[in-house]
Structure 1
Amino acid sequence: MTAASIKRGGNGGTRKPRATVKGKAGKSKPSMLARSIESIPISATAMQRIVTFSILGVAGAAVISIAVMLGLPAYAAAQLSEIVGGAGFAVKRVEVTGIDRMDRLTVYAVALDQKSRAMPLVDLDKVRGELLQYGWIADARVSRRLPDTLVVDIVERKPAAVWQHEQQLSLIDDKGVVLEPVALNAMPDLPLVIGPDANVQATALTDLMGHAPRLKPMLAGATWVGNRRWDLRFQSGEVLALPEGDAPSAKALAKFSAMDGVDRLLGRGFVRFDMRDPAKMFVRVSRDKPRIDKPAGTDNNDDQHNEGVSHNGTAAPRESDHRARYRVVESVCADRRTG
């Protein structure tokens, strides 16, 4: 027997195939997450793209956050603005409107005080804020006019009075804001308010004089006494002492205006009218002048002599507005009363 015909194996027949075992060794069921994903009506390719883009978005946001922390976007924006400025969009002109009393050069200096003249880098809020620090400026509007003009529109305050305090004269508006110093030989034709905090009472004084409009042109100055009431000084030299409080002082001033309209109290040489007592008015005159008749309904609290009437009984000439104001300024320290 040849080697080729020898067969190994006990049975001598063909081997039967193994049976497949069913059960645990079979195909496993998909998980709940997998089943949920399969239920979404989106293809697997689209889902993969969404996941990829989400990962890229998160990474991009992280990169942007780091760049912001390092100041890279601001640097890039500044460089871009400089390029725009180099292309002709840079501040070359400043156009100022609304200026009457304030120095224009001051406005130009503030508007041009910039780290960069490139138009996109001009800080409009900064310019406006610095302008509002000046007393004359009540409001300011700052805008760009491309390609190279900065427009500044100024709203100026209006002077309403001169404030004398601690031997200094200052121009103020109707709200008491100090505008600029005033020289004694260059006082404007405005009322003079005297005393500590008299400037912040300027509005109250304006309202008070509204109760006696015919006396307003005759007013030379007003002293805020003891931080509670007014002494009014008229251009003819007389002083009117008013009571405390807005309503009592307004009532007293209106009454004095009516009495002056009937008896012409001002310009007759009286020195002082005291209306702090609501029941009566006291009148004081000088000791070294001829006697004059007192106004009806008044009492004297001093000798009845006249300082401003000529010897023949006629009224002395009234001083000019400016001379009256100078006399108020020069004599107020000696004539101030505590009230």
Structure 2
Amino acid sequence: MATKTRKSNVRRNAQPPRPRQKVQQISVMDRALRALPFSEEDIQRATTWLIIAALTVLAFAAAQWAGITTAAYLQYSEIAARAGFQVQRVEVTGMERVDQLKVYDLVLAEKDRAMPLVDIDKVRADLLQYGWIEDARVSRRLPDTLAVEIVERKPAAVWQRDGKYSLIDARGNVLENVQPGDAGTLPILNGADANQHAIALNALLDKASALKAQISGASWIGNRRWDLKFKSGETLALPEGESAAAEALLNFARMDGIHRLLGRDIIHFDLRDPERAYFRKVPKAEPVTTETSGPDSTNSGTQA
């Protein structure tokens, strides 16, 4: 009996089995969010602001489509003009060789216009269409002045092709057409599309600075190489390719420094062959014979 009583007490004291707990599954998205250095409140706040920004953009686009902002801007411009914010004066500086009439015709078109309606970017873009103008700065000087600052290009050479002459800058931009006698001391570039290779030519001549000041012009031959013309009358034929032409020019500069080739009796130097150089001298002038009159050819005078 005691054994049965003890077994019954053990059964009473034994705790019932606990139910198994389910393991909570974490999604990949939750793991990625937990890995970020932000709290859930920060992420929710950022999401809210993104939604507000998107709604604002949509509302602005809808207003633009409906013409609401344009009408409001025009009304604002009219109010500004009545308050004195209207173009009454135009100041243009920096003009020396540019056609001033063209510039003023363009800029004065903005006169009597409300300041908010002046399209500064368009005015600048229109000014840059002229060859002489390298850069233009347009600004509003409140309440009533439109200021324009012109930066002109500098002529660096004269481009000659098919009997036509044009001033160009160091980059080959055409500035204006000129007469043959208006070149002055500027070097002359001959050949079709020679102006498009002006930058490469300047870089080439910079490699032989001792010769650059003595060059009066250059001819772009066959759209592939240069012939250089010196002020003393000689012509130097260079090979094709930038590196080959630079090497030939440097070799010629060394030879001229040693032997004084320029200013002598040589009129043509041909360095197109990398193995040898060809020189052509000035042709010798044929001797000129003069006829002498004999004693019988003299007229005798009569004595009175």
Residue 256 (structure 1) aligned to one of 249, 252, 256? 252
| Residues 109-128 of structure 1 aligned to structure 2 (within 5 Å) | 109-114=105-110, 117-128=113-124
- Structure 2 Cα separation of the partners of residues 160 and 267 of structure 1: 25
Secondary structure of 2:213's counterpart equals: helix
- What residue number does 2:242 align with? 246
- What residue number does 2:135 align with? 139
- Structure 2 Cα separation of the partners of residues 79 and 248 of structure 1: 66
- Structure 2 Cα separation of the partners of residues 174 and 65 of structure 1: 47
1:68-89 deviation line (CA, Å, top 9, x unaligned): 5453542343243123213321
The AA in structure 2 aligned to 1:102 is V
Post-superposition shift, 1:107?
2.2
- Structure 1 Cα separation of the partners of residues 61 and 145 of structure 2: 36
| Residues 34-49 of structure 1 aligned to structure 2 (within 5 Å) | none
Secondary structure of 2:166's counterpart equals: strand
Residue 73 (structure 2) aligned to one of 50, 56, 77? 77
Q: 1:114 to 1:94 in 2, by over 3 A?
A: closer
- What residue number does 2:208 align with? 212
- Structure 1 Cα separation of the partners of residues 133 and 238 of structure 2: 34
- What residue number does 2:177 align with? 181
- Structure 2 Cα separation of the partners of residues 159 and 152 of structure 1: 22
- Structure 2 Cα separation of the partners of residues 236 and 181 of structure 1: 27
| Residues 217-296 of structure 1 aligned to structure 2 (within 5 Å) | 217-289=213-285
Percent of residue pairs bearing the same amino acid type = 55
The AA in structure 1 aligned to 2:205 is M
Post-superposition shift, 1:287?
3.2
1:147-199 deviation line (CA, Å, top 9, x unaligned): 11111122222221111112111111111111111211211321111111110
Post-superposition shift, 1:113?
2.1
How many residues of Structure 1 are paired with residues of Structure 2 in the alignment? 231
- Structure 2 Cα separation of the partners of residues 223 and 282 of structure 1: 19
CA contact (8 A) 2:87 2:111 kept: no
Structure ranking higher in helix proportion = 2
- Structure 2 Cα separation of the partners of residues 114 and 281 of structure 1: 63
- Structure 2 Cα separation of the partners of residues 115 and 78 of structure 1: 17
- What residue number does 1:166 align with? 162
Using the TM superposition, name which of 179-188 and 66-75 deviates more: 66-75
Residue 98 (structure 1) aligned to one of 91, 94, 101? 94
Post-superposition shift, 1:110?
1.6
CA contact (8 A) 1:218 1:234 kept: yes
CA contact (8 A) 1:116 1:122 kept: no
- Structure 2 Cα separation of the partners of residues 67 and 199 of structure 1: 50
Q: 1:65 to 1:241 in 2, by over 3 A?
A: closer
Residue 197 (structure 2) aligned to one of 201, 226, 237? 201
Q: 1:70 to 1:116 in 2, by over 3 A?
A: farther
- Structure 2 Cα separation of the partners of residues 218 and 87 of structure 1: 62
Post-superposition shift, 1:96?
2.0
Structure 2: segments with no counterpart, 5+ residues: 1-54, 287-304
The AA in structure 1 aligned to 2:191 is G
1:2-23 deviation line (CA, Å, top 9, x unaligned): xxxxxxxxxxxxxxxxxxxxxx
Structure 1: segments with no counterpart, 5+ residues: 1-57, 291-339
- RMSD (Å), alpha carbons: 2.5
Using the TM superposition, name which of 79-88 and 116-125 deviates more: 79-88
Secondary structure of 1:142's counterpart equals: strand
CA contact (8 A) 2:90 2:146 kept: yes
CA contact (8 A) 2:90 2:111 kept: no
Q: Which has the larger radius of gyration?
A: 1
Please report the TM-score for the alignment, with normalisation by the length of structure 1: 0.63
Secondary structure of 1:271's counterpart equals: strand
Post-superposition shift, 1:108?
2.2
- Structure 2 Cα separation of the partners of residues 220 and 68 of structure 1: 60
- Structure 1 Cα separation of the partners of residues 279 and 62 of structure 2: 83
- Structure 2 Cα separation of the partners of residues 224 and 69 of structure 1: 55
